[in-house]
């Protein structure tokens, strides 16, 4: 049996399932620390695969590909939660140190399991999910409590960036909404009086050490993250402490090794609700690449390699701006054109990160810009100025 207590030192191979932008930024962090990276992804054009030392183009459940990965890598992680749990289990059975394990990842793959878990976690932290009702059969539709309307109907699996969900204003609209989502298992969540959204990023090492980053305040547009700002402008210190303590309790409760993001809603009455868990580095944590001592991707490397975790201290206030493919089609042009990055970089506090995606598409995440400042207001003003430069509404 492989020894899973010794550190995995630089020079070794680390593996990542998934070759998107999160895998690419992980690969860059691992390489800067002296590791080699093996990426497994079915897409020949994967952003991470193009820079990794080894790229295996295969389906995630391809046994031969997983065996090849296991022969090379001492430790493997995943860059997105919809990687099949069986792939992680197969790698573990081959003696690989898998962080996080499949039990943690599969919890976030199914909203029903996730909501049930968050409800049990409420007794420990006093933070639970929004009131909700599970719909799996036609008969369930008639039994939805009236006080859950207006609500948001969400598919139990494979929903992200606002996909797989429909707002339902009244009980009479529910059958049509469920039919539109294909009558797959769903969760109806009550729409709450939301004040703002935040996310907590926590990291746990193999030795049970846990560190947390400052909480980020997030603004979404059309279901996709638009900006993340740290320190969170609207969050009170006691609320931040409650959120961080809750996230630390959660990561230990599920015996999770690696970087974990927990999204929260802060309601108009001051109550805090847990929205969802992401078992990986997260879009809202990209600010850590320029504004913290250790980035979330460096922490993923450290936790996978069983190294001591890095410092999460904030070095400067920051506002992160997401860059979508829409920017390449300004002025309703059908032809993609590279945005004027020279104008962006005329702002000396703006740090540009592009993801190496060859084809821009409307709504596709193409990169982000971290806008720093000596004070929070300055960081926010820098972000607004950069957004205006790019023709994005700040």
Residue 236 belongs to a domain? yes
Q: Answer yes or no: do 198 and 184 share one domain.
A: no
Residue 355 belongs to a domain? yes
Q: Answer yes or no: do 198 and 156 share one domain.
A: no
pLDDT at 333: 72
Residue 6 belongs to a domain? no
Q: Answer yes or no: do 20 and 139 share one domain.
A: no
User: Alpha-carbon Rg of the chain, whole angstroms?
Assistant: 21
Q: Answer yes or no: do 206 and 338 share one domain.
A: yes
CATH of the domain at 279: 3.30.470.20
**Domain limit, last residue, from 98, 123, 156:** 98
Counting the structural domains of the chain, the total is 3
Residue 274 belongs to a domain? yes
**Domain limit, last residue, from 139, 165, 190:** 190
What stretches of the chain show up as alpha helix (H) in DSSP? 21-32, 63-72, 85-93, 102-109, 111-125, 138-141, 174-180, 237-253, 288-291, 296-304, 341-344, 376-389
CATH of the domain at 92: 3.40.50.20
Q: Cβ(244)–Cβ(276) under 8 Å?
A: no
Strand partners, 167: 152
Distance CA 33, CA 24 (A): 14
pLDDT at 308: 98
Q: Answer yes or no: do 360 and 236 share one domain.
A: yes
The torsion region of residue 188 among left (phi > 0), alpha (psi -120 to 50) and beta comes to beta
CATH of the domain at 148: 3.30.1490.20
Residue 106 belongs to a domain? no
pLDDT at 160: 61
Q: Answer yes or no: do 381 and 279 share one domain.
A: yes
Q: Answer yes or no: do 58 and 31 share one domain.
A: yes
Distance CA 107, CA 123 (A): 19
Residue 369 belongs to a domain? yes
pLDDT at 19: 96
Contacts of 176 (CB under 8 A, 6+ apart): none
Q: Answer yes or no: do 313 and 260 share one domain.
A: yes
CA dihedral 297, 91, 64, 12 (to 10 degrees): 50
Q: Answer yes or no: do 209 and 162 share one domain.
A: no
Q: Cβ(328)–Cβ(124) under 8 Å?
A: no
Residue 25 structural domain: 13-98
Q: Answer yes or no: do 167 and 199 share one domain.
A: no
**163 secondary structure, DSSP code:** -
Q: Answer yes or no: do 149 and 290 share one domain.
A: no
**Domain limit, last residue, from 98, 123, 157:** 98
* Tens-digit pLDDT string for the chain (394 aa): 467 789 999 999 999 999 999 999 999 999 999 999 999 999 999 999 999 999 999 999 999 999 999 999 999 999 988 888 899 999 999 999 999 999 999 888 888 999 999 988 888 888 999 999 999 998 999 899 999 999 999 998 866 656 788 999 999 999 999 999 999 999 999 999 999 999 999 999 999 999 999 999 999 998 899 999 999 999 999 999 999 999 999 999 999 999 999 999 999 999 999 998 999 999 999 999 999 999 999 999 999 999 999 999 999 999 999 999 999 998 767 888 999 999 999 999 999 999 999 899 999 999 999 999 999 999 999 999 999 999 998 7
Q: Answer yes or no: do 264 and 383 share one domain.
A: yes
Write down the pTM of the prediction: 0.94
Residue 211 belongs to a domain? yes
Residue 126 belongs to a domain? no
| Residue 111 φ/ψ, nearest 5 degrees | -60, -30
């Amino acid at each position: 049996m492989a020894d899973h207590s010794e550190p995995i030192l630089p020079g070794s191979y680390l593996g990542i399932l998934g070759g998107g932008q999160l895998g690419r930024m992980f690969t860059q962090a691992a390489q800067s620390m002296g590791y080699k990276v093996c990426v497994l992804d079915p897409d020949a054009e994967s952003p991470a695969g193009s820079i990794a030392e080894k790229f295996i183009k295969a389906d995630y459940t391809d046994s031969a590909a997983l065996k090849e990965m296991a022969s090379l890598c001492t430790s493997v992680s995943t860059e997105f939660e919809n990687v099949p749990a069986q792939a992680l289990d197969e790698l573990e059975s081959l003696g690989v140190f898998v962080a996080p394990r499949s039990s943690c990842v599969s919890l976030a793959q199914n909203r029903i399991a996730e909501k049930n878990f968050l409800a049990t976690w409420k007794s420990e932290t006093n933070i639970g999910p929004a009131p909700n009702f599970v719909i799996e059969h036609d008969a369930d539709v008639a039994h939805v409590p009236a006080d859950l309307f207006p609500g948001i109907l969400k598919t139990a699996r494979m929903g992200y960036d606002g996909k797989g969900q429909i707002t339902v204003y009244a009980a009479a609209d529910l059958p049509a909404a469920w039919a539109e989502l294909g009558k797959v298992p769903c969760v109806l969540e009550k729409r709450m009086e939301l004040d703002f959204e935040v996310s907590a990023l926590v990291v746990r090492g193999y030795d049970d050490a846990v560190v947390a980053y400052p909480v980020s305040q997030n603004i979404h547009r059309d279901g996709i993250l638009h900006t993340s700002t740290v320190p969170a402008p609207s969050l009170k210190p006691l609320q931040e402490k409650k959120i961080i303590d809750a996230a630390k309790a959660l990561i230990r409760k599920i015996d999770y090794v690696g970087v974990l993001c927990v999204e929260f809603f802060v309601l108009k009455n001051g109550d805090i609700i847990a929205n969802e868990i992401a078992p990986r580095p997260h879009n809202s944590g990209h600010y850590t690449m320029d504004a913290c001592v250790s980035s979330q991707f460096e922490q993923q490397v450290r936790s996978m390699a069983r190294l001591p975790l890095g410092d999460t201290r904030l070095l400067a206030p920051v506002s992160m701006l997401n860059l979508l493919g829409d920017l390449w089609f300004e002025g309703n042009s059908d032809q993609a054109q590279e945005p004027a990055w020279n104008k962006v970089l005329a702002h000396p506090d703006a740090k540009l990160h592009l993801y190496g995606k060859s084809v821009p598409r409307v709504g596709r995440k193409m990169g982000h810009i971290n806008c720093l400042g000596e004070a929070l207001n300055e960081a926010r003003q820098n972000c607004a100025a950069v957004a205006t430069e790019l023709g994005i509404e700040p």
